[in-house]
């Protein structure tokens, strides 16, 4: 396919857009954050890149772009992209899944070590000028339970395994993990409480869908060990925030490490800011120096596949939401 028209939902000043100069000569590119920016070319558009635009804008553009044959979202999560007309259409949707997984897996490993070695206590003693020896734990031999075994879950499993941990995972279709050397046991969704109870470190890496919203709620948290740590590197609303706040306040679990939240930015005065047993990352655990360039490079490579009629990478199951 030649002479492709691409609509890019983004602020025109974003530096990564310069990488679109690598697209073949003859590609028409329209960039903007309003419907007016696309009205002139939308009717003949072939593809849409959702770089930083909203679902509302995408939905409005979709209505005036009947020829679109491919939509790509920079983000891995799809809850901010999907709408009924897109889901029901035959147009493939791809996302940035896998681009950011390595860094998120490292955050999971770092958080496990943070609690096992009690780094907060070390820093507190250092700031106080206090020499106070204490015992630390090994993560070797502990169990990491992963809720949602996609790219992020697998990246977490790789690092957990490298640290000598037992890895168990819960996924909607357990049969897809048969033969996976990183997993010691895989559970179906109805065994969530079993996974929570067996795990020393629970990693929430599930996408946000109607089935996963609030999945890790009061009952699941109550099933955790008192020494257990809950981490979230997937989507904020998968964990019931009120239930986790109560568990942390009452110290019914050892702690939590969060990179995603129900409301972002986290409001001033939120209880999370005051908890000593919480490691809080402001949704930037995957913000490496090149994370945006990596995301755009992935799109550029997928664009070439689209142009040549080759299979696209990261085609999602729209009806499932991931």
SS (H, E, C) the chain: CCCCEEEEECCCCCHHHHHHHHCCCCCEEEEECCHHHCCCCHHHCCEEEECCCCHHHHHHHHCCCCCCCEEEECCCCCCCCCCHHHHHCCCCEECCCCCCHHHHHHHHHHHHHHHHCCHHHHHHHHHHCCCCCCCCCCCCCCEEEEECCCHHHHHHHHHHHHCCCEEEEECCCHHHHCCCCCCCEEECHHHHHHHHHHCCEEEECCCCCCCCCCCECHHHHHCCCCCCEEEECCCHHHECHHHHHHHHHCCCCCEEEECCCCCCCCCCCCHHHHCCCEEECCCCCCCCCCHHHHHHHHHHHHHHHHHHCCCCCCECCCCCCC
**Rounded-to-integer distance, Cα 252 and Cα 155, Å:** 28
Over residues 192-228, the pLDDT tens digits come to 999 999 999 999 999 999 999 999 999 999 999 999 9
The conformational region for residue 108 under phi > 0 = left, psi -120 to 50 = alpha, else beta, is alpha
Q: Collect all residues with Cβ–Cβ distance below 8 Å to 165 and sequence separation of at least 6.
A: 112, 139, 140, 141, 142, 143, 144, 201
- The pair of structure tokens assigned to 254 is 């050892």
Cβ atoms < 10 Å from Cβ of 17: 17
> For all residues of the chain together, what is the average pLDDT?
97
**Rounded-to-integer distance, Cα 124 and Cα 84, Å:** 51
Over residues 64-109, the pLDDT tens digits come to 999 999 999 999 999 999 999 999 999 999 999 999 999 999 999 9
Torsion angles phi and psi, residue 310, rounded to 5: -90, 160
Q: Are 168 and 143 in contact (CB under 8 A)?
A: yes
User: Residue 176's pLDDT is what?
Assistant: 84
Q: What is the average pLDDT across 27-54?
A: 97
Torsion angle (degrees, nearest 10) of CA 204, 210, 215, 217: 120
pLDDT band at 1 (very low <50, low <70, confident <90, very high): confident
Q: Collect all residues with Cβ–Cβ distance below 8 Å to 222 and sequence separation of at least 6.
A: 247, 252
Q: Are 76 and 153 in contact (CB under 8 A)?
A: no
Q: Residue 112 pLDDT more than 90? A: yes
Q: Which residues are catalytic?
A: 235, 264, 283
Q: Are 278 and 248 in contact (CB under 8 A)?
A: yes
User: Residue 178's pLDDT is what?
Assistant: 83
72-98: b (≥16 Cβ within 10 Å) or e: bbbbbbbbebbeeebeeeebbbbbbbb
Domains annotated on the chain, with CATH:
5-98+290-308 (3.40.50.720), 101-280 (3.40.50.720)
Over residues 151-205, the pLDDT tens digits come to 999 999 999 999 999 999 999 989 888 889 999 999 999 999 999 999 999 999 9
pLDDT band at 2 (very low <50, low <70, confident <90, very high): confident
Over residues 255-314, the pLDDT tens digits come to 999 999 999 999 999 999 999 999 999 999 999 999 999 999 999 999 999 999 999 999
């Amino acid at each position: 396919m030649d002479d492709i028209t691409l609509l890019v939902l983004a602020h025109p000043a974003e530096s990564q857009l310069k990488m679109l100069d690598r697209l073949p000569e003859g590609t028409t590119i329209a960039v903007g954050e309003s419907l007016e920016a696309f009205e002139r070319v939308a009717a003949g558009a072939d593809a849409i890149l959702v770089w930083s635009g909203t679902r509302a804008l995408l939905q409005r553009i979709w209505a005036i772009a009947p020829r679109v044959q491919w939509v790509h979202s920079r983000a891995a999560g799809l809850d901010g992209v999907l709408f009924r007309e897109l889901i029901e259409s035959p147009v493939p949707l791809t996302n940035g899944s896998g681009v950011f997984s390595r860094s998120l897996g490292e955050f999971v490993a770092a958080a496990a070590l943070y609690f096992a070695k009690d780094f907060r206590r070390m820093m507190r003693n250092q700031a106080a000028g206090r020499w106070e020896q204490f015992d630390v734990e090994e993560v070797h031999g502990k169990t990491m339970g992963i809720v949602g075994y996609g790219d992020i879950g697998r990246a977490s499993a790789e690092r957990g395994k490298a640290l000598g941990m037992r890895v168990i995972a819960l996924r909607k279709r357990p049969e897809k993990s048969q033969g996976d050397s990183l997993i010691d046991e895989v559970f179906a969704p109805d065994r969530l409480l079993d996974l929570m109870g067996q795990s020393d470190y629970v990693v929430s890496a599930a996408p946000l869908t109607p089935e996963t919203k609030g999945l890790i709620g009061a009952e699941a948290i109550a099933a955790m060990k008192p020494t257990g740590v809950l981490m979230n590197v997937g989507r904020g609303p998968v964990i019931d925030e009120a239930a986790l706040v109560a568990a942390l306040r009452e110290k019914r679990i050892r702690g939590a490490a969060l990179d995603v939240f129900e409301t972002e930015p986290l409001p001033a005065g939120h209880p999370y800011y005051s908890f000593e047993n919480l490691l809080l990352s402001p949704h930037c655990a995957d913000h490496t120096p090149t994370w945006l360039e990596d995301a755009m490079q992935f799109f550029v490579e997928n664009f070439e596949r689209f142009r040549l009629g080759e299979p696209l990478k990261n085609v999602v199951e729209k009806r499932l939401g991931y």
